[in-house]
């Protein structure tokens, strides 16, 4: 076969993707990420989940902060809002509060969410605003060329910690569990089927859903959160894990050496919009 002839399987694969409808949720912009970045898998996960759930593009919006991860809205064919560094959650909360019919997906990196934006996470969680927050954790600042982040491992060498990072990382899963998030899960970019399933569940949850996604930065971290290291370390939650038990969820979240993937915790309680309805009813009384 000459090199100009396309192998048949390419056409078959392309046809399968087209027929699956997943392309409908991809934008015309090709991702600008480095080849091999874990974020490609997350785009595929979100578009597949949208396709599976039959998400109406006119009623869905993706909101992001700033970072490699926050370029995400450009690559999906949903409404998008690329906001300021660390401000994804206030903007997403405002959008959902202004129009409760919208499906709102907030996305961003570990720096965006747990450094500059760290003060916003507890409030979105305790309010139980009905949005999904996908946190892309590569344990580094990717966009600004590889500085230590709040989730960087001890010992990581970066441009800001050339003699190894001496600080212990934050544990975002334990944080959001104690902040009061009503759906908390973890997945890994190297497990695309698991990722799609978790994104689908997170979006379907009524309330604040937080999905922590472990994702290698292949350009700036060659030693810590790599595909090899994460691939060997991640494990499924035990089959008897009780996702209604907060203490059991915290216990699982404590293990960062062999991080568990799956649904840690789910609770059903009124959302921010439900509580607003009550306030409106009290304020207007029998005037309606």
Residues near ligand SF4, by CB under 6 A: 33-34, 37, 39, 68, 138, 142, 217-220
Q: Does 110 bind Mg ion (CB under 5 A)?
A: yes
* Chain centroid offset of residue 204 CA: 14
Judged by beta carbon distances under 5 to 8 A according to partner kind, the member of ligand SF4, ligand TPP, Mg ion, none in contact with residue 85 is ligand TPP
* Chain centroid offset of residue 240 CA: 25
Residue 95, token pair as written in the block: 């959008």
Among residues 120 and 205, whose Cβ is nearest to ligand TPP?
A: 120
Q: Does 37 bind ligand TPP (CB under 6 A)?
A: no
Integer angstrom CA distances of residue 76 from 52, 86, 92, 136, 207? 15, 21, 17, 16, 23
Q: Does 130 bind ligand TPP (CB under 6 A)?
A: no
Q: Does 110 bind ligand TPP (CB under 6 A)?
A: yes
Q: Residue from 43, 53, 143, 233 that binds ligand TPP (CB under 6 A)?
A: 143
List phi, psi (to 5°) of 188.
Answer: -140, 135
Residue 34, token pair as written in the block: 């480095």
Cβ pair 46, 31 in contact under 8 A:
no
Quickly list DSSP for 211-261: EEEE---TTT-SSSS-HHHHHHH-EEPPTT--TT-HHHHHHHHH--SS-EE
Among residues 130 and 221, whose Cβ is nearest to ligand TPP?
A: 221
Judged by beta carbon distances under 5 to 8 A according to partner kind, the member of ligand TPP, ligand SF4, Mg ion, none in contact with residue 37 is ligand SF4
217 Cβ contact partners less than 8 Å away, ≥ 6 residues apart: 37, 38, 68, 138, 139, 140, 142, 146, 225
Site for ligand TPP in 264-283 (CB under 6 A): none
Least CB distance from residue 217 to ligand SF4, whole Å?
3
Least CB distance from residue 138 to Mg ion, whole Å?
4
Residue range at the interface with Mg ion (CB under 5 A); choices 77-85, 136-144, 161-169, 171-179: 136-144
Q: Residue from 38, 67, 185, 259 that binds ligand TPP (CB under 6 A)?
A: 67
Integer angstrom CA distances of residue 95 from 47, 91, 129? 21, 6, 11
Site for Mg ion in 223-262 (CB under 5 A): none
Residue nearest to Mg ion (CB): 109
End-to-end CA, the chain = 75
Judged by beta carbon distances under 5 to 8 A according to partner kind, the member of Mg ion, ligand SF4, ligand TPP, none in contact with residue 210 is none
Q: Site for ligand TPP (CB under 6 A): how many residues?
A: 19
Nearest Cα residue to 214 out of 147, 277, 136, 285: 136
Residue range at the interface with ligand TPP (CB under 6 A); choices 5-13, 94-102, 105-113, 257-265: 105-113
Alpha-carbon gap, residue 285 to 130, rounded angstroms: 26
Radius of gyration of the chain (CA): 20
- Torsion angle in degrees (nearest 10) through CA of 12, 16, 19, 20: -170
Q: Does 141 bind ligand TPP (CB under 6 A)?
A: yes
Among residues 133 and 141, whose Cβ is nearest to ligand TPP?
A: 141
Which residues contribute to the site for ligand TPP (CB under 6 A)? 66-69, 85, 108-112, 116, 136, 138, 140-144, 149
The site for Mg ion (CB under 5 A) is made up of: 109-110, 138
């Amino acid at each position: 076969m000459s090199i100009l002839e396309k192998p048949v399987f390419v056409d078959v694969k392309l046809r399968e993707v087209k027929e699956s409808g997943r392309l409908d949720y991809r934008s015309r912009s090709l991702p600008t990420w480095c080849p091999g970045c874990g974020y490609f898998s997350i785009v595929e996960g979100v578009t597949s989940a949208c396709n599976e759930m039959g998400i109406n593009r006119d009623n869905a919006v993706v909101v992001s902060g700033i970072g490699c991860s926050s370029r995400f809205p450009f690559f999906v064919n949903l409404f998008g809002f690329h906001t300021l560094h660390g401000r994804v959650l206030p903007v997403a909360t405002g959008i959902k509060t202004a129009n409760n019919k919208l499906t709102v997906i907030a996305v961003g990196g570990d720096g965006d969410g747990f450094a500059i934006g760290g003060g916003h996470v507890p409030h979105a969680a305790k309010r139980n605003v009905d949005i999904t927050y996908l946190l892309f954790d590569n344990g580094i600042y990717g966009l600004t060329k590889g500085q230590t982040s709040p989730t960087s491992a001890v010992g990581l060498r970066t441009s800001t910690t050339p003699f190894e990072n001496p600080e212990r990382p934050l544990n975002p899963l334990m944080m959001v569990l104690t902040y009061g998030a009503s759906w908390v899960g973890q997945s890994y970019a190297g497990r695309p089927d698991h990722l799609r399933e978790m994104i689908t569940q997170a979006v379907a949850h009524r309330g604040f859903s937080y999905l922590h996604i472990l994702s290698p930065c292949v350009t700036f971290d060659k030693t810590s959160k790599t595909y090899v290291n994460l691939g060997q370390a991640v494990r499924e939650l035990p089959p008897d894990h009780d996702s209604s038990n907060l203490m059991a969820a915290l216990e699982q979240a404590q293990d960062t050496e062999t991080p568990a993937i799956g649904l840690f915790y789910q609770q059903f309680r009124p959302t921010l919009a439900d509580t607003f309805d009550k306030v409106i009813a009290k304020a207007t009384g029998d005037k309606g």
